[in-house]
Amino acid sequence: MAVVTGSASGIGFATACRMAAEGASVAMVGRREPGIQSAAEEASSHGTARAYVADVTDAAAIDRALAGITDELGTPDILVNNAGVTIVGSITEITEEDWDRQFAVNLKSVYLVSRALWPGFRRLGRAAVVNMASVGSVWAIPNDAGYCATKAGVLMLTKCMAVDGAADGIRVNCVIPGYVETGMIRGYFDAQPDPDAARRQAIGLHPLGRLGTPDDIAAACVHLCSDDASWVTGTSFTVDGGVTAGLHADPPPDLPTRQSALGGTR
């Protein structure tokens, strides 16, 4: 039984669909009821998928959602912490409020949701957790200091969770996506003076010659949660079309200023 946060669209939605198709009962968690309900209805064409509304930065809201999930679908043994947001800006441009919001959504939520599910994992004696990191975990992106800092935190938190959970059969890994075709990256391109040029330049960073798709990342998540990865924990699975292997083209154009910042789940 799988819980996927930030699953109303993009990577989270693709992961929920893929897991449902593989036979898992999937609890799709999102902050806005219309969006997550619509996504769950669509995902249910692949298998069992239900919507649960919760702000993953709010411990009480997570507990309420988990109570409903457990009553309806059983005790989760898979968790994908996918909810995320990016608000661009260097440390001199981004506000304290926006800095805190990114840490709450991108990093604190991983702690809160994982903490809520951990007792059930222990009772089962098994679980697989996948946290969504980013190339920004290991690769500084201009004018995106807060986002990169949160994702670097996700990378180390993954390792700590893996060490702490191993004795209870809890495996924890993270995925490092490159530039993926989601609403988040499209908003970034649209904010550039020449969106088409920005897209071409981003594609040029990837040796494989294209941006990723949500399904590319979903496949990695499903693998890490499967029995095929039963001896894999504490690692980062880079799925980035080769972008972090080395600079393949000119650096990407400057990110938009804070005034044209974008935000939302992937």
pLDDT tens digits, one per residue of 119-165:
999 999 999 999 999 999 999 988 889 999 999 999 999 999 999 99
Helix/strand/coil for 183: helix
73 pLDDT above the threshold of 80: yes
Residue in the structure block whose two tokens are 């709010």: 58
Helix/strand/coil for 7: coil
CATH assignment, 2-260: 3.40.50.720
Dig out the tokens for 199 from the structure: 């897209």
Indicate yes or no: pTM above 0.85: yes
52 is catalytic: no
Query: How is the chain split into domains, by residue range?
Result: 2-260
Model confidence at 258, pLDDT cuts 50, 70, 90, reads very low
Distance in angstroms (rounded) separating the CA atoms of residues 51 and 44: 10
213 pLDDT above the threshold of 80: yes
CA 36 to each of CA 76, 107, 230: distance values in angstroms, whole numbers, following the listed order: 19, 21, 31
> Do 27 and 69 form a contact (C-beta atoms < 8 A)?
yes
> Do 166 and 230 form a contact (C-beta atoms < 8 A)?
no
The predicted model gives 196-219 an average pLDDT of 94
Per-residue pLDDT, 190:
81
Per-residue pLDDT, 130:
99
Helix (H) or strand (E) holding 199: helix 195-205
Model confidence at 259, pLDDT cuts 50, 70, 90, reads very low
- Tell how strand 49-53 and strand 170-177 pair up: unpaired
CA 73 to each of CA 3, 84, 150: distance values in angstroms, whole numbers, following the listed order: 10, 25, 31
Model confidence at 53, pLDDT cuts 50, 70, 90, reads very high
Per-residue pLDDT, 142:
84
Dig out the tokens for 176 from the structure: 């490092």
CA 45 to each of CA 5, 17, 38, 171: distance values in angstroms, whole numbers, following the listed order: 19, 8, 12, 29
Helix/strand/coil for 21: helix
Catalytic residue among 52, 111, 147, 179: 147
Per-residue pLDDT, 260:
32
35 pLDDT above the threshold of 70: yes
Per-residue pLDDT, 261:
36
Distance in angstroms (rounded) separating the CA atoms of residues 173 and 237: 8
Q: Which of 9-18, 104-113, 193-202 has the lowest mean pLDDT?
A: 193-202
Residue 187's closest CA among 106, 256, 247? 256
Per-residue pLDDT, 262:
39
Model confidence at 191, pLDDT cuts 50, 70, 90, reads confident
118 pLDDT above the threshold of 90: yes
253 pLDDT above the threshold of 60: no
- List own/partner pairs for 193-201 with CB under 8 A and 24 or more apart: 197/253, 198/252, 198/253, 201/249, 201/250, 201/252, 201/253
Sheet (strand 49-53) strand order: 49-53, 26-30, 2-5, 78-81, 127-132, 170-177, 236-239
